[in-house]
Amino acid sequence: MEEIVTLAQNHLQAKLPFVLYCKPNSEAGIGFFQQNDTVFEVNDYTEKGFVIATFDGAKTYLIPESASAVVHFSLDKKVMTNSQQEVIEVNTNSKINFEALVAKGIEAINNDEFKKVVLSRSEKVDLAEFDLIATFKKLIQRYPSTFVYCFYHPKIGTWLGATPEQLLKVKDTYFETISLAGTQIDTGSSEIIWGEKEKEEQQFVTDYIVSKVENVATAVRYTKAYSIKAGSIWHIRTDVSGQLNSDSSLKKVIGLLHPTPAVCGLPKENSKAFIVKNEQYDRSFYTGFLGELNCNFTTSTNSSDLYVNLRCMQIKGLQAYLYMGCGITKDSIPAKEWEESVNKSMTMKKVL
64-104 per-position pLDDT tens digit: 999 999 999 998 766 565 554 455 667 889 999 999 999 99
The CATH number of whichever domain residue 136 belongs to comes to 3.60.120.10
Burial of 160 (0-12, 13-18, 19+ CB in 10 A): buried
Q: How many helices (H) and strands (E) does the chain have?
A: 7, 19
CA–CA separation, 260 vs 272, rounded Å? 10
d(CA 207, CA 211): 6
The rounded average pLDDT for each run of 10 residues, N- to C-terminus, in the chain (352 residues) is 91 98 94 98 97 96 98 79 57 93 98 97 96 96 95 98 96 94 86 92 94 95 94 92 95 94 93 96 97 86 94 97 96 96 94 94
pTM: 0.94
Question: Are 287 and 263 within 8 A, CB to CB?
Answer: yes
How many domains does the chain divide into?
1
Q: How many CB atoms lie within 10 A of CB 115?
A: 18
Helices (H), the chain: 2-14, 92-110, 132-142, 196-213, 250-257, 268-278, 334-349
Q: Domain of 288? A: 2-349
Amino acid in position 259:
P
For residue 343, give the 3-state DSSP assignment.
helix
